Amino acid sequence: MEIAFFIITALLTIGAAVAMVLSHNAVHSALWLVLNFFGVAVLYLLLNAPFLAMVQITVYAGAIMVLFLFVIMLLGSEQGQEEVNGLPWQTPVALVMGLLLVVMAGYALFFPGTPVPTTQTPNEIGAPDILARKLFSTYLLPFEITSVLLLVALIGAVVLTMKSREGDRV
Amino acid sequence: MNFLLSLIVWLPLLGALVVLFAPGLSDHTAKRVALVWSLAVFVLSLPLIPGLGVFDGARAELQLVERVPWISAFGVDYFLAVDGISIWLVLLTTFLTPITILSTFDAINTRVRAFEAFMLALQTGMLGVFLAQDLFLFYIFWEFTLVPMYFLIGIWGGARRIYATVKFFLYTFAASVLMLLAIIALYVLWGQNSFSLPDMVQAIRNNQFVLDQNLGRWLFLAFFAAFAVKVPLWPFHSWLPDAHTEAPTPGSVILAGVLLKLGGYGFIRFNLQLFPEASRFFAPAIGVLAVIGIIYGAWIAYAQTDIKKLVAYSSVSHMGFVVLGIFALNPIGIHGAILQMVNHGISTGALFLIVGMIYERRHSREIDAFGGLWRVMPVYTFLSLLIIMSSIGLPALNGFVGEATIMFGTFSSPFLGWEFAAFGLIGVILAAVYLLWMFRRVMMGDVTEATAKMRDISRLELSMLIPLVALILLIGLYPTPFFRAMNESVTALANGLGPVLAAR
Amino acid sequence: MEETLFTLIPAIIVLPLLGALINTFLIRDGRRAGMVASLACGAAFVVGLAAFALLAGLPHEEQTHIDLTLWQWIDAGPLDVPFGFLFDPLSAVMVLLITGVGSLIHVFSIGYMAHDARPVRYFVYLNLFVAAMLILVLANNYLLLFLGWEGVGLCSYLLIGHSFERKEARYASMKAFVMNRIGDFGLMLALLALFQHFGSLNYGVIFPRAAELAGQQINWVLGPTALASAIAFCMLIGVSGKSAQIPLWTWLPDAMAGPTPASALIHAATMVTSGVYLIVRSHSIFLQTQAISNLTVYVGVATAFVAASIAIGQYDIKRVLAFSTVSQLGFMVAAAGMGAYTAAIFHLLTHGVFKALLFLGAGSVIHGAHDVQDMRRMGGLRSAMPTTFLTYMAGTLALSGIPIWAGFFSKDEIIGSAFHGTRFGTYPVSGTILIITAALTAFYMARQVSLVFLGQQRDTSYHAHESEPIMTIPLWILAVGSTIAGIINFPGLHFLDHFLEPVFEVGHAVQEPLEFNIPLAIITVVLALAAGWVAYQVYGKRQWKKTFRDPLARYLGVFFEGFEQRWYADDVYDTMVVRPFKATASFLSRILDPLGIDGLVNGAAWLVGFGGRGLRRAQTGYVRSYTLVFFLGVIAVLGYFGFATVR
Amino acid sequence: MVPTEYYVLLSTVLFTIGVIGVLTRRSALVVFMSVELMLNSANLALVAFSRQWNHVDGQILTFFVITVAAAEVAVGLALLVGIFRTRRTTNVDEVNTMRG
């Protein structure tokens, strides 16, 4: 039962990802990506990580993708940004290499040289309170640094997009 | 007094900073400050003269040792010391620098402060090379000398200065990188987490650190490349004439006077001490290169029309003697080589000075632009003659003492022999040919309209040449104190090269 | 007594050195400089005389042990050379010759150089020369001898180039120095070999052990050779350079471009004889090798003959004397090669006196004739310069080997040795050639006297005058010397033989003093007189025009042309050595160095640049292609680890 | 319970798709999205391993990745806007001034 649910979600996620890459319209791409993010969020739930699933939806599917859509609209570059192709031969190479990567990963996963310990009984490790305790004790410093990082990113984004005055074009 | 060496090494760099950054320093005073500063360094180095109590010439081991851990993770020490091999080269450096700076009084008129700063910084680098006993520290000083020289030629040089500097820099740098590789290889192979040269040499002599024969030879060659380019040994010499022709007079003086000696010193200190077996193996081959260089440099010097180029090629020839003496691998040869390095520094430095003096007056270095200087500039010509004769190797002057000692070493060396000495002596004949040929055309002959107006040597110029000439005579007539101070160290070195060599 | 000598010997050298220093730094006036220089040299002579007297007073066996070291000159590990002097009978006579003749020449120079542009410099060189020459003969080891050897070479260079405005002076000075250097090359090589064997360069170490050299075999250019031969051969090269022997003789005639008194001192009386001195000093080495001693004789005889023949064909008054000097040096070298060392030194001494006289006489003529040197423009100067003529005649007779004059005795001893035999055997052919050469000597000297002093003045454009007393007095003294100097080794008395005996005892080279060979002497003298008479008949009787061609040219044809052109030796050297040398230098400098060696360097630089241009094309600027490469790298790394773990 | 291998394989597949997107698409925006996809696939693997070892650190790391991704997107999109302003394009193949 669970495995069936996993397979459906996985296929949905993969399908959304493929569609994202193949779409000619950037807006479509963004929407496919949102779908993909939802799929991943569902998988997080399956993995006993409910808090992360929520974060995934709010931050990724919500904030980040909205930002993407904003920019796409702002630049008006939904379509027609693909005329110039400097590396026409790169697509087949990329596909072959990608396939190679998947095969390699699969081989390594399912025919491991050393036996892998079996999956342990899941605990409620993904509960928000457990995460929060960990985050605010052991990982306090990284957490604080992350906040600084966000602030810097914020300022950086503002500075970069500010209209430069005449005469000092970058 | 155990910080004396550090003081001598770092004081010039401090001087460089002062000259460069002191507010409100005019060009005129900058020259004087640099001069006084370098003189102070010279005075500080005077106690090093063997026999004055600080440095004991009768001891073979390193003296005035300063050793402080520096980068302890890699076992790098700040390790300065001096022994009989380096003592005269250190004194040569501190002695020549004030004279060189004196020569900037006339020769340099643009960006004076930067020039003086580079000169002083260069002095730090050169002294560091002679004094560092830690391979890593040595390498740093070694490369550091490149930088000021690069700018000295590149900014104040002649018309083709960019070509000359780039060539000089790349050539020496490329070769030095090989040396760096060898240094790292030695460090790794030894596995004692130390770059200390004396310790490594000690381990090699006690067979605690045994290098594979083939590997030892390769590492020898890596060191050899760096030093051979610097010396420069034929056929690695082609950067030298370009660098010399383009460099301003003070640059040439310091280049010929001290920088070339870094190579010869490196041969003795590193190749001979670290790789006795490879030294014995390669000695004949290097001897052949040296002899070719002696004759080739002299021969080609004869065809030059530019006086400075002539002197530059003569350097190739003369430094060939130094290499020959070193790779005689016996005490006499090495004695001669070390003294000859000092001699060459004095004589060729002086030669570049005298060339610079007439260049200042005539703004030409073409031999054909001169004639009859003996008549219009008698004092100048008298001193020039003395210096030229010293370069030719006239007995009673310094050049002869060095060359003859080298020849004796070469002849009696089990690795070289009479053929090498005979060909070396041909170089001595040729030295007379090209230098007298130059003398005949520049100093002798009729006074032309252009040369008639040339005034004789000024007091300033006299003050540059007099100390050099005094040393030329002193070393020529009484070189014994110079030899005695290096005797013990050189004998110990030769003993390390193998039992065969201790005898002669 | 020895202590006194120990103070006197350095003084001999220091005095002329002091003169040179004073003149360099304090004196600006030519005449005063001359006084100082003469005084310095004269004082050295007086001191030398005192030292000589002291030495003569010592017991026989102690005379070779006056050895003093002033200081350690070179002390480089095993190489240990003192700055030390050895005052033995051989050095003593050399010192007297150098300072004695030197003083007279100094005095003469005061007058001769009165109108020179740079008299002070001249006297400095002259003093310096005397000092260097004294070091050469007084040294107690070979390296110090070499110092003097090259020192005199330098002074010779400076004096020849004294009037450097003249082209021939410039070229001659350099030629002299370089040719001497080629000779020094040989000498230095000999020193190296000596040191290699003995571990020392001191005479005191080498000579007693010289016999070892004969046994040692070495492999070198000439194949397996006795070490003694190799060393002696190398020394012979040095001798050939310094004493102007074949093949390095061409510099000496050119050296006449220097002031005449300098030629008298350096290129006649003293410096050029130092090669002979070297052989005599090293007799214990030469005695070990018959082959090279023979070679020395042949070189000497050949030089003597060739130079004498050239002297016949010269018109320049100094040139004749120069070739005569070369010829006489050949006599000495031949004698030294035969092992007739005393004879060589005897001739060296007498020749020093009478050749100095002849040169000074020539100088007086040139001075009086207002710098005319071409003998064809002279003639009849006897009346204008009676003193010069008389003294010149004394020199001529001495040189021609006419009895009672000095040259007769010394030359005869050499020829006598050739026939009488030495430890190397007899040299009859060489002896015969030497007799012919002696006749040629008489011929060219008679020719010279006839052309210069006899007959009528051919070129009347100048008014010849006798020189001032300061020049004629030295001439008189030397003339007296030339007349009576034979006494120093007069047959039957053998002063010199006995005096030098201790020196040769070291190498066991003492020979029975040669007794006078009357038939031989008669033959020689008759031949010389006949040659002189013929020359007088040819040149002294007729009135020639001032640009005449020598009458002998008619009879001797190409041979005379050879005489005139010095047997084309200079041209041969020019084509075979000088030109190829210059061409190679130009080739090296224009082609090999910039295109070959530097070409390799720049080629390497170009190669790097080329590779860089190639690699630059990989930098497409497309971020996606960089990513692809990155991705490939990731796959490669993953693959590597994957396989590593699977295995 | 779904084995961890399946999650990791899924993560690999998503990552590969992201890579292919980066390598083949020229629109800077889509390239950007593909990068986000790759980040997500990595997160998925992290969470899966977190469950495998019953350890919360994997989730914490994922949390941080998400935060950094947010910052990155902000700056990255700002850069894109800047590029678009000067070059009037978001085609990465036209931004090749670094060409050697």
**Domain ranges, ordered by start, for chain D:** 26-91
pLDDT confidence tier of residue B503, bands split at 50, 70 and 90: very low
pLDDT, residue A170, reads: 44
pLDDT, residue A82, reads: 65
Percentage of the residues of chain C whose pLDDT score is greater than 90? 11
Same domain as C423, residue C365: yes
Is the minimum CB–CB distance between C219 and chain A shorter than 8 Å? no
- Please tell me the distance from the alpha carbon of residue A60 to that of residue A37, in angstroms, as a whole number: 7
Among B109-123, C86-100, C150-164, C534-548, the minimum mean pLDDT is found in C534-548
Closest CA to A105 of D47, D30, D17: D17
pLDDT confidence tier of residue A122, bands split at 50, 70 and 90: low
Which is higher by pLDDT, D88 or A18?
Answer: A18
Q: Is residue C539 within 8 Å of C531, Cβ to Cβ?
A: no
User: Is pLDDT at B504 greater than 50 in this prediction?
Assistant: no
- In B, residues 130-189, which contact C (CB 8 Å cutoff)? 167, 170-171
- In C, residues 147-176, which contact B (CB 8 Å cutoff)? 147, 149-151, 154, 157, 161, 164-165, 170-171, 173-174
Is the minimum CB–CB distance between C622 and chain D shorter than 8 Å? yes
pLDDT confidence tier of residue A32, bands split at 50, 70 and 90: very high
* Contact between C624 and D92 using a beta-carbon 8 Å cutoff: yes
Amino acid at C238: G
Q: Is C341 helix (H, G, I), strand (E, B) or coil?
A: helix
Domain range enclosing C594: 565-614
Distances (CA, A) of C321 to A96, C240, C263, C361: 101, 19, 10, 11
For C208, which DSSP code? G
User: Is pLDDT at A85 greater than 80 in this prediction?
Assistant: no
pLDDT confidence tier of residue B157, bands split at 50, 70 and 90: confident
* Contact between A131 and D90 using a beta-carbon 8 Å cutoff: no
Convert the pLDDT of each residue in C226-265 to its tens digit: 888 888 888 999 999 888 888 888 888 888 888 888 888 8
Convert the pLDDT of each residue in B459-474 to its tens digit: 888 999 999 999 999 9
User: Is pLDDT at C547 greater than 80 in this prediction?
Assistant: no
Convert the pLDDT of each residue in C18-27 to its tens digit: 999 998 888 8
Instruction: Please check whether the domain covering D26-91 is classified as CATH 1.10.287.3510.
Output: yes
* Contact between C631 and D95 using a beta-carbon 8 Å cutoff: no
Q: Is residue C258 within 8 Å of C125, Cβ to Cβ?
A: no
Convert the pLDDT of each residue in B45-78 to its tens digit: 999 888 887 888 888 888 889 999 988 888 899 9
Domain range enclosing B309: 4-499
Same domain as C421, residue C382: yes
Mean pLDDT of B363-379: 86
User: Is pLDDT at C509 greater than 70 in this prediction?
Assistant: no
CA end-to-end distance (rounded Å), chain B? 37
- Please calculate the CA angle A145-A148-A149 and round it to the nearest 5 degrees: 85
Convert the pLDDT of each residue in C306-358 to its tens digit: 888 888 888 888 888 889 999 999 999 998 888 888 888 888 989 988 899 99
- Please tell me the distance from the alpha carbon of residue C199 to that of residue C205, in angstroms, as a whole number: 9
pLDDT, residue B3, reads: 87
Tokens of B136: 């890593």
- Please tell me the distance from the alpha carbon of residue C185 to that of residue C241, in angstroms, as a whole number: 9
Residue ranges with strand state E in C26-110: 67-76, 79-86
Q: Is residue B172 part of a domain?
A: yes
- Please tell me the distance from the alpha carbon of residue D44 to that of residue C47, in angstroms, as a whole number: 111
For B414, which DSSP code? S
> Helices (DSSP H) in B231-306: which residue ranges?
239-246, 249-254, 260-266, 273-274, 276-302
Is the minimum CB–CB distance between B237 and chain C shorter than 8 Å? yes
User: Is pLDDT at B500 greater than 60 in this prediction?
Assistant: no
User: Is pLDDT at B501 greater than 60 in this prediction?
Assistant: no
Chain D residues touching residue A36 (CB < 8 angstroms): 14, 37, 40
Mean pLDDT of C590-605: 80
* Exposure string over C602-626, b if 16+ CB within 10 A, otherwise e: eeeeeeeeeeeeeeeeeebebbbbe
DSSP conformation letters of C546-600: TTPPPTHHHHHTHHHHHHHTGGGHHHHHIIIIIHHHHHHHHHIIIIIIIIIIHHH
pLDDT, residue B138, reads: 94
Same domain as C628, residue C555: no
Q: Is residue B504 part of a domain?
A: no
- Helices C317-338 and C341-368 cross at an angle (nearest 10°) of 170
- In A, residues 57-96, which contact D (CB 8 Å cutoff)? 59-60, 63-64, 67-68, 71-72, 74-75, 77, 81-87, 90-91, 93-95
pLDDT confidence tier of residue A117, bands split at 50, 70 and 90: low
Strand partners, D91: D27
Same domain as C499, residue C395: yes
Q: β-strand C223-226 against C217-220: which pairing, if any?
A: antiparallel
pLDDT, residue C513, reads: 67
- Please tell me the distance from the alpha carbon of residue A131 to that of residue A127, in angstroms, as a whole number: 6
* Contact between C631 and D100 using a beta-carbon 8 Å cutoff: no
Q: Is residue B180 part of a domain?
A: yes
Domain stop point among C498, C529, C564: C564
Convert the pLDDT of each residue in B229-267 to its tens digit: 998 888 888 888 888 888 999 999 999 999 999 999 999
Tokens of C80: 């240990």
pLDDT, residue A118, reads: 66
Tokens of C270: 């003293």
User: Is pLDDT at B120 greater than 90 in this prediction?
Assistant: yes
* Contact between A17 and D2 using a beta-carbon 8 Å cutoff: no
pLDDT, residue D100, reads: 60
- Please tell me the distance from the alpha carbon of residue A123 to that of residue A47, in angstroms, as a whole number: 10
Cβ within 8 Å of residue B149, ≥6 positions away: B122, B168, B251, B254, B255, B259
H or E segment and range at residue B79: strand B76-82
Q: Is residue B186 part of a domain?
A: yes
DSSP conformation letters of C418-472: HHH-BTTB--HHHHHHHHHHHHHHHHHHHHHHHHHHSS--S--SS---PPPHHHH
pLDDT, residue C136, reads: 92
* Count: domains in chain C: 3
Burial class of residue B261 (count of CB atoms within 10 Å of its CB; 0-12, 13-18, 19+): buried
pLDDT, residue C161, reads: 87
pLDDT confidence tier of residue B362, bands split at 50, 70 and 90: confident
Residue of B234, B400, B412 to mutate, interface with C, max C Cβ within 10 Å: B412
Chain C residues touching residue A90 (CB < 8 angstroms): 624-625, 628
Chain D residues touching residue A55 (CB < 8 angstroms): 63, 66
Q: Is D90 helix (H, G, I), strand (E, B) or coil?
A: coil
Most confident of B282-286, C445-449, C492-496: B282-286
Mean pLDDT of B176-204: 91
For C139, which DSSP code? B
Residue C185: CA atoms inside 13 Å, Cβ hemisphere, count?
23
- Please tell me the distance from the alpha carbon of residue B300 to that of residue C587, in angstroms, as a whole number: 9
pLDDT confidence tier of residue B128, bands split at 50, 70 and 90: very high
Please report where in the chains the tokens 């396939």 appear, as a residue.
Answer: A99
Same domain as C587, residue C546: no
pLDDT confidence tier of residue A120, bands split at 50, 70 and 90: low
What is the average pLDDT score of chain C? 85
Tell me what ipTM this predicted complex has. Answer: 0.73
pLDDT, residue D40, reads: 92
Same domain as C448, residue C406: yes
* Count: domains in chain B: 1
Chain C residues touching residue D26 (CB < 8 angstroms): 624
- Please tell me the distance from the alpha carbon of residue C400 to that of residue C408, in angstroms, as a whole number: 7
Closest CA to C150 of B122, B120, B431: B431
